[in-house]
Chains A and B, each alone.
Chain A
Amino acid sequence: MILTLNTYEAVEPEKVSRWFKAAPVEKFPKNGGACVKYKGMQIAVFNFTREGTWYACQNLCPHKMEMVLSRGMIGEDQGEPKVACPLHKNSFSLKTGKHLNGDLNRIATYPVKIEGDFVYIGFSE
Chain B
Amino acid sequence: MKTVIVVGNGMVGYKFCEKFVAKVDQGSFKLIVFGEEPRVAYDRVHLSEYFENGDAERLSMAPREWYQENNIELYTNERVTDIHRNSKTITTLSEKTYNYDYLVLATGSSPFVPQINGVDKDGVFVYRTIEDLEEMLAYADKIRKTVKKPKAAILGGGLLGLEAAKAVMDMGMEPHVVEFAPKLMPRQLDTRSSKVLQVKLKSMGINIHLSKATNQILGNGHVIGMEFGEDDVLNVDMLVISAGIRPRDELGKSCGLKMGTRGGIAVDNKMRTSDSSIFAIGEIALYNQMIYGLVAPGYEMAGVAVDQILGMEQTVMAAEIDMSTKLKLIGVDVASFGTPFMPAEKGHSIIFENKTESLYKRINVSHDGKRLLGGILVGDAKDYNMLLQMYLNEMPLPKNPENLILGSRGGEDVSFGSAMDLPDTAIVCSCEAVTKGQICCSVKENGNESVKAISKATKATTGCGGCKPMVDDLVKETLKSLGKVVKESICEHFEYSRQELYDLVKLRKIEDYDSLLDEVGKGHGCEVCKPAVASIFASIYNETANRQATIQDTNDRYLANIQRNGTYSVVPRVAAGEITPKQLLAIGRIAQKYDLYTKITGGQRIDMFGAQLHELPPIWEELIAEGFETGQAYGKSLRTVKSCVGSTWCRYGMDESVTFAIDIENRYKGIRSPHKIKGGVSGCIRECAEARNKDFGFIAVEGGWNVYICGNGGANPQHAQLLAEKVDREIATKYVDRFLMYYIQTAPPLTRTAAWLDKLEGGIDYVKDVVINDCLGIAEQLDSEMQYLVDTYKCEWKEAVENPEIRARYTHFVNAEETDDNIEFVSLREQKMPKAWV
Contact = CB atoms under 8 A, between A and B. Distances in A.
Nearest to A30: B550
A31 B815 contact: no
A45 B550 CA distance: 14
B820 A67 contact: yes
A21 to B, nearest CB: 9
A21 B726 CA distance: 68
B523 A87 contact: no
B551 interface: yes
Contact of A50 (B524, B553, B565): B524
Contacts of B527: 72-73, 75, 84, 89, 91
B566 A28 contact: no
A23 interface: yes
A11 interface: no
Name which of B492, B550, B814 has the most chain A CB atoms within 10 A of its CB: B814
A71 to B, nearest CB: 7
Interface residues of A, number: 41
Interface string B803-821: 0000001001111101011
A34 B530 contact: no
A123 B565 CA distance: 27
Nearest to A28: B814
A7 B412 CA distance: 78
A114 to B, nearest CB: 14
A7 B106 CA distance: 64
A58 to B, nearest CB: 12
A81 B820 contact: no
Contact of A68 (B514, B566, B837): B566
Given A76-B523, A79-B523, A86-B554, A22 B814 contact: yes
Given A1-B821, A42-B822, A73 B551 contact: yes
Interface string B470-494: 0000000000000000000000110
B223 to A, nearest CB: 53
A65 interface: yes
B398 interface: no
A42 B820 contact: yes
A81 B525 CA distance: 10
Contacts of B838: 65
Contacts of B565: 66
B524 A75 contact: yes
Given A35-B814, A71-B554, A73-B550, A64 B564 contact: yes
Nearest to B525: A75
A84 B557 contact: no
B814 A34 contact: yes
A78 B493 CA distance: 9
Interface of B: 492-493, 514, 517, 523-527, 529-531, 549-551, 553-554, 557-558, 562, 564-566, 809, 812-816, 818, 820-823, 837-838
B143 to A, nearest CB: 45
A87 B562 contact: yes
Given A1-B821, A50-B514, A37 B815 contact: yes
Which of A23, A28, A77 has the most chain B CB within a 10 Å cutoff? A77
Interface in A28-56: 28-32, 34-37, 42, 45, 48, 50-51
Given A23-B814, A50-B517, 19 more contacts: A27-B814, A29-B550, A35-B813, A36-B814, A64-B564, A64-B837, A65-B838, A67-B566, A68-B566, A73-B550, A74-B550, A75-B524, A75-B525, A77-B526, A79-B523, A81-B524, A82-B526, A87-B564, A91-B527
A71 B812 CA distance: 10
A3 B524 contact: no
Nearest to A83: B527
A86 B551 contact: no
Contacts of A76: 493, 523-526
Contacts of B815: 22-23, 27, 36-37
A14 to B, nearest CB: 25
B525 A68 contact: no
6 contacts: A22-B814, A23-B815, A36-B813, A73-B526, A84-B527, A87-B566
**Most A CB within 10 A of own CB, among B526, B527, B549, B553:** B527
